[in-house]
Amino acid sequence: MYFITAIPRVLYPYDLDFIEDSMLMQSLRFAQGLPVFAAPSADFAAHAYTPLYTWLGGLLFKITGPSFAPLRLLSLAATLATAAIIFYIARRESGQTWLGLVCAGLYLGGYRLSGFWYELVRVDSLYVTLALAGVVLGIYAPSRPDRFLAKRTCQVLAAAVVLALAFFTKQTGVAFAAWLFVHLLVVRGRQAWWFAATYLALTLIPFATLDAATNGWFAFYTFGTASGDPIEWQRVAHYVFGE
């Protein structure tokens, strides 16, 4: 049922969500080599998201030309990757293939409840995939301390790389990295510090470089604009306690 609904939407030639037009324009600017994080004007203002999704969209546009379909296909591929990761987790934890399929199906079945955004031109599907993949890599790194040490370290470092990519898709990816660091600190000890050092290097250095290259506009859009609204504590309480 998900595919019956999603595939025609991927091929629909017009916008399906208010954000799709501006995400397409930002991807097009990346494809054309035009400045994205620059002073806002009547012609263009960048999104408040970190740029990985629209940058990948710009690469696709160089092959396909600009349209909604390539960006929606990127989101659809990310959605299927998330379902595959959920299948892997459930099968690994339960030892039951059928349960893995059911859990992946439940994720796809949440399409309506989530607001039909799985294949839209939004950063969210790619963000969820990268955040989940990074956490899985970190948690399932081999735990034996002998001959698996090198593999364990490599997998923890890979988790840092993937979660850094999640951060450059959507800023809230830092929350997943912080949680995984605490988990590794409790379970793996010094492996947590390898993770933290790699993650900080892969986020802070590129962030500072991009901000310097754009004369401060990168930080303005991704954190200045994003933090401009006051915190609505009633919504925080509703989210935490489900009231």
Alpha-carbon distance of 160 to 156, in angstroms, equals 7
Alpha-carbon distance of 97 to 8, in angstroms, equals 30
Poorest-pLDDT segment among 54-63, 145-154, 168-177, 205-214 = 145-154
For residues 205 and 213, is the Cβ–Cβ distance under 8 A? no
The residue type at 46 = A
For residues 184 and 134, is the Cβ–Cβ distance under 8 A? no
- For residue 144, the model assigns a pLDDT of 61
Q: Return mean pLDDT, the chain.
A: 93
Predicted confidence band of residue 46 (pLDDT cuts 50, 70, 90): very high
- For residue 145, the model assigns a pLDDT of 56
For residues 163 and 180, is the Cβ–Cβ distance under 8 A? yes
Alpha-carbon distance of 185 to 196, in angstroms, equals 10
Q: What percent of the chain has pLDDT over 70?
A: 95
| Across 11-32, average pLDDT | 96
pTM over 0.75: yes
- For residue 126, the model assigns a pLDDT of 98
Q: What is the pLDDT of residues 109-167, one digit of tens each?
A: 999 988 899 999 999 999 999 999 999 999 998 766 555 556 678 899 999 999 999 99
